[in-house]
Amino acid sequence: MVDPRVYEVMSKPIVSHLDPFLFEVMAEISAWLKPVFGTANEFTLAVSGTGTAGMEAAVSNFVEPGSKFAVFTNGYFCDRIAEMGRRHGANTVELKAEWGNVYDPDQARDFIKREKPNVVAFVHAETSTGAFNDPGPICEAAREVGAFVIADCVTSLGTMPINLDAVGIDCAYSGTQKGLGAPPGLSPITVSPKAMEWIKNRKSVNPSWYFDFNLLSGYFGTTRRYHHTAPITMFYALREALALLHDEGLEPRLERHRRNQRAFVAGAEAMGLKMRVAAPHRLMALNTPEVPEGIDDLKARKHMLNNYNIEISGGLGSLLGKVFRIGVMGVSSTKENVLLVLETLEEALREQGYKAPASGKAAAEKTYA
């Protein structure tokens, strides 16, 4: 869901792409994004495309033909990162883990030390599985071999702490439509000064002109050199979504997500559903309970959509038909929504003969007491 305040600013008159007012909006976006990413990076802005555009911007700026690119692949979106690396001519190596699982820290460290990549990429919060990949061991080993680290934070930005600078991530990107609660259309992104210095001096030219960070820093930076006509309305929306986050406070916002996630899990488990991801590695914004034996997940999802206008997602790839993907994020992360989704999911499963050992709604309600 999107907050009414965000919808409201989207019908405000547009200004030109070089209007001082737009640069004020962009400056506020940059200032408000930094604490959410946990960074002081000057290059903190929004790319004029959706989350995948941010991914392509990151890969195309960091990866050159012949680069060694090490990607942690345990879900749909890291597969996409690896594919982009190959398209940019990188020698792309992958450490695979089962979808829904995470890496053993030692295994992660060994992989990086053995491969000695130029660039490492991982998905901080894997939207396709609900798993959180700990950046600690990855960044530590990358530092040792002198590799840059890219993190996909599409589902973690604004829902979980990122602590970019403290952990040592060089580049992170996200979308506007997950934890920030704006419509899709921009990709918040941030790059460390050290990485920007490297990008400025890299030998091969980025095949992408649209996503070239050197050109983008001319437009968004102090020179304000025309690069492209930014989607003005989306900048209004992102600014307002960040203002809402700023009003709530980052810590209360993250705590709200934690509280509602805890309630959801208590409810799902009380209903007899097994969470696909082990407790320490779960996301705060997206839950992946397994589909019980004998249940048709599509039928259950349609029941919720058609009767209650609640849209939950199914599994992707190797998790197709095996998990539900239930987002509880941004504006939508509320007690009311958690209880409603549990109640309607229980009904949808009951329709197919599933007998829950206990009420999910009641169990969730207790956690708020």
| Interacting residues toward its own copies by CB under 8 A | 2, 7-8, 10-14, 16-17, 19, 48-53, 55-56, 60, 80, 83-84, 86-89, 175, 177, 183-185, 205-210, 227-234, 237, 311
Query: How far apart are CB 246 and its own copies at their closest, in Å?
Result: 22
Measured from the CB atom, the residue of 47 and 142 that comes closer to its own copies is 47
The two structure tokens encoding residue 6: 């965000």
Q: Are 66 and 152 in contact (CB under 8 A)?
A: no
Measured from the CB atom, the residue of 175 and 188 that comes closer to its own copies is 175
Query: How far apart are CB 74 and its own copies at their closest, in Å?
Result: 19
Query: How far apart are CB 10 and its own copies at their closest, in Å?
Result: 5
Query: How far apart are CB 320 and its own copies at their closest, in Å?
Result: 12
Residues 6+ apart with CB under 8 A from 47: 53, 54, 57, 173, 186, 187, 188, 189, 211, 216
User: Between vectors from CA 238 to CA 229 and to CA 304, what angle results, nearest 5°?
Assistant: 120
Q: Tell me the C-alpha to C-alpha distance, in Å, between residue 84 and each of 88, 198, 235, 301.
A: 6, 20, 27, 32
Measured from the CB atom, the residue of 12 and 113 that comes closer to its own copies is 12
Measured from the CB atom, the residue of 7 and 368 that comes closer to its own copies is 7
Three-state helix/strand/coil letters over 128-177:
CCCEECCHHHHHHHHHHHCCEEEEECCCCCCCCCCCHHHHCCCEEECCCC
Query: CA-CA distance, 220 to 319, in Å (whole number)?
Result: 40
Is beta strand 68-73 parallel, antiparallel or unpaired with respect to 91-96? parallel
Measured from the CB atom, the residue of 57 and 167 that comes closer to its own copies is 57
Residue 93 φ then ψ, to 5°: -115, 145
Query: How far apart are CB 365 and its own copies at their closest, in Å?
Result: 28
Measured from the CB atom, the residue of 84 and 167 that comes closer to its own copies is 84
Measured from the CB atom, the residue of 227 and 259 that comes closer to its own copies is 227
CA end-to-end distance (rounded Å), the chain: 26
What amino acid occupies position 288? T
Query: How far apart are CB 124 and its own copies at their closest, in Å?
Result: 18
Query: How far apart are CB 208 and its own copies at their closest, in Å?
Result: 6
